[in-house]
Amino acid sequence: MKDFRHYEAVSTLALDRDKCVGCTLCTQVCPHQVFEMRDRKADIVDFDACMECGACVTNCPSEALSVNPGVG
């Protein structure tokens, strides 16, 4: 989703890779393909495409993701 941008460098999306269990749910539910799996863990590959919808946070079983909707 490199063509999609709302605002640059304002998203509050955060990932704690140490908590990630590699379930892949974030990659499945993210509407803008912000995540990819690398070394069996999620990785943010397009931070500025995050629209802070919270789908990844809601579906993350290990609470490895956080976002404060409304900023980006």
Is 3 a domain residue? Answer: no
Output the domain CATH number for residue 23: 3.30.70.20
* 3-35 core/surface letters (b: 16 or more CB in 10 A; e: else): eeeeeeeebebebeeeebeeeebbbebbebebb
Is 30 a domain residue? Answer: yes
Q: At which residue do the structure tokens 């974030």 appear?
A: 26
Residue 4 has pLDDT above 90, yes or no: no
Query: What total of structural domains would you count in the chain?
Result: 1
pTM score of the predicted model: 0.85
DSSP symbol at 40: T
DSSP H helical ranges for 1-72:
25-29, 55-59
Is 4 a domain residue? Answer: no
pLDDT tens for 15-66 read 999 999 999 999 999 999 999 999 999 999 999 999 899 999 999 999 999 9
Domain extent for 29 = 14-62
Distance of CA 72 to the CA centre of its chain: 13
